[in-house]
Amino acid sequence: MFTNCATMEAKFCARTDTYMLNPEFLKNGPGPRLAFLEQPESTSIAETLVSFANTEGGTLVVGLKENGEATGKFDPEMLAKALKDADALTSPLVVTGNWEPVEVENANVYALRVPRSIELHALTDGRVMIRGDKNNRPLGGQEILKLASAKSTGDFESEAVAGVTKENFSPKIIEEYIAKRAERTKRPFNGKVDDLLREIGAIDSAGRPTVGGILCFTEFPQQWMPQSSVVFAKFVGKTPRGENGLAGYTRREELTGPLPRLIEASWNLIWSEMAVGAVVKGLEREDQTEYPQFAVREAIVNAVCHRDYRLKGRRIEIRMYSDRLEVISPGGLPGFITVENIVDEHFSRNPRIVNGLFQWGYIEELGLGIDRMMEVMEQAGHLPPSFDARPYSFAVTLYNARERQQMPDWVRNTNHRQSRALQYIREHGSITNREYRGLCQGVSAETLRLDLADMVEQGILLKVGSKKGTYYILK
- Contact by Cβ (8 Å): 50, 143: no
pLDDT value at residue 240: 84
pLDDT of residue 255: 97
**CB of 129 within 8 A of CB of 138?**
yes
What is the C-alpha radius of gyration for the chain, rounded to an integer number of angstroms? 24
Buried b (16+ CB within 10 A) or exposed e, 161-182: beebebebbeeebbeebbebbe
Distances in whole angstroms, Cα of residue 324 to Cα of each of 219, 234, 401: 32, 11, 8
**In whole angstroms, what is the distance from residue 249 CA to residue 237 CA?**
9
Q: Looking at residue 67, what is its pLDDT?
A: 82
Regarding the domain with residue range 8-141, which homologous superfamily does it belong to in the CATH classification? Schlafen, AAA domain (3.30.950.30)
3-state DSSP assignment of residue 9: helix
pLDDT at 363: 86
CA 43 → CA 63, 129, 354, 384, distances in Å?
A: 16, 13, 30, 40
Alpha carbons 129 and 119: distance in angstroms, whole number:
13
Alpha carbon distance 442, 366 (integer Å): 22
Q: 3-class SS at 308?
A: coil
Write down the pLDDT at residue 105.
Answer: 75
Which pLDDT belongs to residue 15?
Answer: 32
Strands 58-62, 90-91: pairing is: unpaired
Nearest to 363 by CA among 102, 67, 52, 33: 33
**Amino acid symbol at 452:** L
CATH class of 153-404: alpha beta
Beta strand residue intervals within 236-323, DSSP E: 249-255, 276-281, 284-289, 316-320
The alpha carbon dihedral of 410, 412, 416, 420 has a sign of positive
209 three-state secondary structure: strand
DSSP states of 138-155 as a string? E--HHHHHHHHHHHHT--
pLDDT of residue 409: 55
> CA dist 96 to 4, 48, 125, 206, 475, Å?
11, 12, 21, 21, 50
Domain ranges of the chain: 8-141, 153-404, 409-474
Cα distances from 72 to residues 77, 310, 471, in angstroms, run 15, 48, 41
**What is the residue-level pLDDT of the chain in tens, covering all 475 positions?**
333 333 333 333 433 333 456 667 787 788 888 999 999 999 999 999 999 999 989 999 999 888 888 887 777 788 999 999 999 999 999 989 888 888 887 777 899 999 999 899 999 999 999 998 788 999 988 889 889 988 877 689 999 999 999 999 999 999 999 999 999 888 888 889 999 999 999 999 999 999 999 999 999 999 999 999 999 999 988 888 766 666 678 899 999 999 999 999 999 999 999 877 655 555 555 567 899 999 999 999 999 999 999 999 899 999 999 999 999 999 988 888 888 888 878 888 898 999 999 999 898 766 678 888 988 888 888 888 999 999 899 999 999 987 655 555 555 567 777 877 887 887 888 999 888 888 876 677 788 888 898 888 888 898 888 777 889 988 7
3-state secondary structure of 26: helix
Q: Do 8-141 and 409-474 show the same overall fold?
A: no
Element at 325 (helix H, strand E)? strand 324-330
DSSP for residue 428: H
Neighbours of 65 (CB within 10 A): 12
- C-alpha–C-alpha distance, residues 347 and 354, integer Å: 10
Q: CA-to-CA distance for 127 and 284, rounded, in angstroms?
A: 58
pLDDT of residue 50: 97
Q: For residue 7, what pLDDT is reported?
A: 32
Q: Which amino acid is at 161?
A: V
CATH number of 409-474: 1.10.10.10
CA nearest neighbour of 334 among 213, 154, 201: 154
The whole-angstrom separation of Cα 103 and Cα 61 is 12
Measure the CA–CA gap between 219 and 261, rounded to whole angstroms: 9
Q: Is 146 left (phi over 0), alpha (psi -120 to 50) or beta?
A: alpha
* pLDDT of the residue at 225: 96
From residue 226, how far is each of 58, 231, 261, 289 by CA, in Å?
Answer: 32, 12, 15, 33
Residue partners of 97: CB distance under 8 A and separation at least 6: 1, 2, 3, 11, 112, 113
Q: What are phi and psi of 426, to 5 degrees?
A: -65, -30
**Terminal CA-to-CA distance of the chain, rounded, Å?**
52
